[in-house]
């Protein structure tokens, strides 16, 4: 490949203010910090966005450096298949993987799902997140969102039974899912699960810390439990079969759409239900994840709804319905 025909890579950190704040058991934030990779060739540019996650030791600066370190490989024609072994799973690989697929789609004048041999996504219902706060504050936030069919409720430890009861009272007709973000303990697990069951919760995400979730295999689970921090890629699945009923697939964990698609297929083959999740980010992060929605029982792609502003050509939301991306955004 001559220099005139060589792909070029640029990357940058971008910041988008959150509307208000976003609070989970690990803390609050007021902006979404993303890293964007752009790969250009022949007048076309493919883009991918990722969200470095401190839970996994990632920072924006280190993620940017990891992406930029692949410039030479990209210039020499790095493919998505080669990328899977060239970088570990994580945010940096996600941005590059999605950028490469976006570029392939543009250069072939085809949609990304067609290139991957997947079903075309259609409009689907996304969860809308209720941030962690006091029971009264969560009830007030829930009342404003009670017109939405699916709410995702962030819980965080002591007082969670009161929180979920307050949310249910404020939204008697919504389907509720709960995300504890690893904040429960062996002593609170069963009482909290019972409180969620009493409130008619459909699913609880990651109640116990990853690497300390063995108890889930030893109790009777009154409602379905979903792995989030405990599942990253296909190598994670086998150990989870006795502990979880569902898995939350996020592209920043899998390291891109390539592994995410393979993970979804493998998880379904093992009997797991699929949840498609996201970090708080723009529509450029959500767009590739839309390819997984035809397989998903739960879709949680509300990141742009939590921002004060989205990027141009963002996903179209009609209430809680989210529509597939236009080619002008991605894929």
Annotated catalytic, 250? yes
Which of the four pLDDT bands, split at 50, 70 and 90, describes residue 21?
A: low
pLDDT tens-digit series, residues 123-136: 999 999 999 999 99
Of the residues 106, 152, 169, 250, only one is catalytic, namely 250
pTM here is 0.93
- Identify which of 98, 92, 93 has the alpha carbon closest to the alpha carbon of residue 115: 98
In whole angstroms, give the CA distance from residue 160 to residue 178. 10
Which of the four pLDDT bands, split at 50, 70 and 90, describes residue 2?
A: very low
Mean pLDDT for all residues in the chain: 95
Q: What is the mean pLDDT of residues 246-260?
A: 98
User: In this predicted structure, which of 21-30, 228-237, 261-270 has the lowest mean pLDDT?
Assistant: 21-30
Domain with CATH 3.30.390.10 in the chain: 3-110
- 3-110 domain in CATH 3.40.50.1370? no
Q: Given a cut of 90, is residue 20 above it in pLDDT?
A: no
Percent of the chain with pLDDT over 90: 92
DSSP state, 87?
S
pLDDT tens-digit series, residues 179-227: 999 999 999 999 999 999 999 999 999 999 999 999 999 999 999 999 9
Residue 252's SS3 state is helix
In whole angstroms, give the CA distance from residue 324 to residue 331. 10
pLDDT tens-digit series, residues 136-187: 999 999 999 999 999 999 999 899 999 999 999 999 999 999 999 999 999 9
In whole angstroms, give the CA distance from residue 281 to residue 310. 9
CB-CB contact of 29 with 18 (8 Å): yes
Q: Given a cut of 80, is residue 24 above it in pLDDT?
A: no
Domain with CATH 3.20.20.120 in the chain: 124-322
User: In this predicted structure, which of 206-210, 296-300, 303-307 has the lowest mean pLDDT?
Assistant: 303-307
- Identify which of 98, 36, 38 has the alpha carbon closest to the alpha carbon of residue 71: 38
Beta strands in the chain (DSSP E): 8-24, 27-41, 44-50, 124-125, 128-130, 150-154, 175-179, 201-205, 224-227, 246-249, 273-276, 298-299, 317-318, 321-322
Where does 124-322 sit in CATH, by number? 3.20.20.120
Q: What is the mean pLDDT of residues 239-257?
A: 97
Structure tokens at 100: 């490469």
Q: What is the mean pLDDT of residues 275-300?
A: 97
pLDDT at 65: 98
Annotated catalytic, 169? no
CB-CB contact of 278 with 286 (8 Å): yes
Angle (deg, nearest 10), helices 160-170 and 186-198: 20
Of the residues 106, 152, 154, 253, only one is catalytic, namely 154
CB atoms within 10 A of CB 272: 23
């Amino acid at each position: 490949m001559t220099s005139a025909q060589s792909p070029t890579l640029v990357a940058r950190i971008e910041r988008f203010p959150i509307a208000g704040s976003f609070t989970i058991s690990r803390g609050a934030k007021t902006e979404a910090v993303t890293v964007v990779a752009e790969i250009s060739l022949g007048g076309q540019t493919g883009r991918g966005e990722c969200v470095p996650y401190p839970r996994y030791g990632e920072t924006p600066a280190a993620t940017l450096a990891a992406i930029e370190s692949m410039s030479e490989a990209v210039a020499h024609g790095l493919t998505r298949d080669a990328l899977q072994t060239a970088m570990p799973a994580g945010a940096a690989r996600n941005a590059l993987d999605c950028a490469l697929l976006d570029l392939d789609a543009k250069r072939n004048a085809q949609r990304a799902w067609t290139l991957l041999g997947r079903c075309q996504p259609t409009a689907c219902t996304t969860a809308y997140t209720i941030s962690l706060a006091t029971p009264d504050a969560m009830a007030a936030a829930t009342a404003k969102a009670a017109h939405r069919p699916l709410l995702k409720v962030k819980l965080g430890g002591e007082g969670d039974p009161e929180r979920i009861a307050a949310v249910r009272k404020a939204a008697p007709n919504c389907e509720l899912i709960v995300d504890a973000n690893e904040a429960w303990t062996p002593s609170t697990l069963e009482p909290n699960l019972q409180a969620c069951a009493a409130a008619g919760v459909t699913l609880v995400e990651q109640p116990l810390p990853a690497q300390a979730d063995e108890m889930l295999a030893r109790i009777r689970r009154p409602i379905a439990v979903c792995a989030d921090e405990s599942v990253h890629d296909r190598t994670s699945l086998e150990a989870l079969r006795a502990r979880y009923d569902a898995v939350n697939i996020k592209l920043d964990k899998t390291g891109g759409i390539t592994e995410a698609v393979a993970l979804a297929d493998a998880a379904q083959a093992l009997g797991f239900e699929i949840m498609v999740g996201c970090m708080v980010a723009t529509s450029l992060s959500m767009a590739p994840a839309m390819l997984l929605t035809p397989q998903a029982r739960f879709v949680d792609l509300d990141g742009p709804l939590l921002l004060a502003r989205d990027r141009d050509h963002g996903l179209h939301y009609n209430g809680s319905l989210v529509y597939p991306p236009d080619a002008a955004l991605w894929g």
